[in-house]
Structure 1
Amino acid sequence: MPGNVPPVADEREGLLAFLDQQRQGVRNAAYGLTDEQARLAPSASTLSVGGLVKHLAQMERSWVAIMVREPGPPVDYADGFRLREDETLADVLADYTKAAEETAAAVAGIADMGYAVPVPKGVPWFPDDVDAWSVRWVLLHLIEETARHAGHADIVRESVDGATCWPLMAAVEGWPATPWVQPWQPATGDGTPA
């Protein structure tokens, strides 16, 4: 997806398009990484690119379950932030794509963006004084959460190998090299771009 969301026809399409743009930023941050690199947590935090992808898929599924009033999938919060040795980056990226498809299907099944989504009670990070959000609110929250973690993924990725957002996007989308941006290329054995 280019740096900007294309024109949209309505609110629903716009919210889903902006959510997908943020997802693509996360996917771009993972572009070209090996499984070992995707497991690295090179900054002061314990975040890794692979762990962020995995967390975002789990987070999105949890919010969709709340939105459609179904029990959410069981989640191990700490495990959800790390790419285990028995997992691959390709697998968690594929699962993230599947979670996005599930979100789109759930939203398509709800006619009114103002549909009430009950706020789960007894959860410390949810407000006690709010009874319901709307589907619109949930999608805005998914955009917010995904954008926050896309920024984390950018920082982690840059700490892994120096790759940054625009050169990665250029590589993913096959842009020609320009004086302004050179598409990212994997480093050779001596550390220079291939």
Structure 2
Amino acid sequence: MTSPSRRAEFFVDEAQYLSLYPRTTGDERRMLADFLAAQRATLVTKCSGLEKELARRSVEPSTLSLLGLVRHLAGVERRWFRQALAGQDVPRLFFTEENPDEDFDGAVADAAVVAEAWEAWRAEVAFAERYVEEAPDLDVEGQNPWLGTVSLRWVLIHMIEEYARHNGHADLLRERIDGAKGL
């Protein structure tokens, strides 16, 4: 994977890098689920080897941090899969009416906060993966308070976009923390 023109080496090895690529053939559901899984794995990789550093802010006055992204994406997973598609009446994660930015504001360098974020994120991802696997097709619909009716297909595409955008932020955050670049 190295090239004389590469500006920096990846902070993971070639095998781990290639393992993040989704399958290149398959039906639509499998392809979308694989691309989303790859984006989720990328987030985990960008956070790997860090604990309290996950809460480090990018630059003042921004509250953006890797831990904030984990908390934010746990909430996004819940909003789309549990609330919108499954219709569950569950509270939002890392959010209050008084502080709608609690996902980032509450991302502090405390082991319990870090553990809670990862536990919530893993639980929401597991729910979403089961939901996608068990759905009869990609045309299953749910309701979103802002957009109205949404299909599972649309939610999967949106989630891939959501993770891809935030993984770009995670690139810069990780580089700021320890200089690790790539992937």
Matched, 1:147 2:172: no
Q: Which residue of 2 aligns with 1:83?
A: 107
- The 4+ residue runs of structure 1 with deviation greater than 4 A are none
1:40 maps to which of 56, 76, 95:
56
Does the 8 A contact of 1:113 with 1:135 survive in 2? yes
User: Given residue 71 of structure 1, which amino acid in structure 2 is its aligned partner?
Assistant: D
Over aligned residues, Cα RMSD in angstroms? Answer: 2.0
Deviations 1:165-193 (A, max 9, x none): 33xxxxxxxxxxxxxxxxxxxxxxxxxxx
- Aligned pairs for 1:57-72 (under 5 A) are 57-64=74-81, 65-72=83-90
SS class of match (2:112): coil
* Change in CA separation of 1:159 and 1:17 when aligned onto 2, cut-off 3 Å: same
- Aligned pairs for 1:10-21 (under 5 A) are 10-21=27-38
Does the 8 A contact of 1:51 with 1:83 survive in 2? yes
Distance in 1, matches of 2:165 and 2:102, equals: 19
Of Structure 1 and Structure 2, the greater helix share is in 2
Distance in 1, matches of 2:133 and 2:112, equals: 31
Does the 8 A contact of 1:43 with 1:156 survive in 2? no
For structure 2, the residue ranges without an aligned partner over 5 or more in a row are 1-15
The alpha-carbon deviation at position 73 of structure 1 amounts to 2.5
SS class of match (2:150): strand
How many residues matched?
157
Over alpha carbons, which structure has the higher Rg? Answer: 1
What percentage of residue pairs aligned between the two structures are identical? 32
TM-score, structure 1 length as denominator? 0.72
Distance in 2, matches of 1:89 and 1:119, equals: 29
The alpha-carbon deviation at position 99 of structure 1 amounts to 1.6
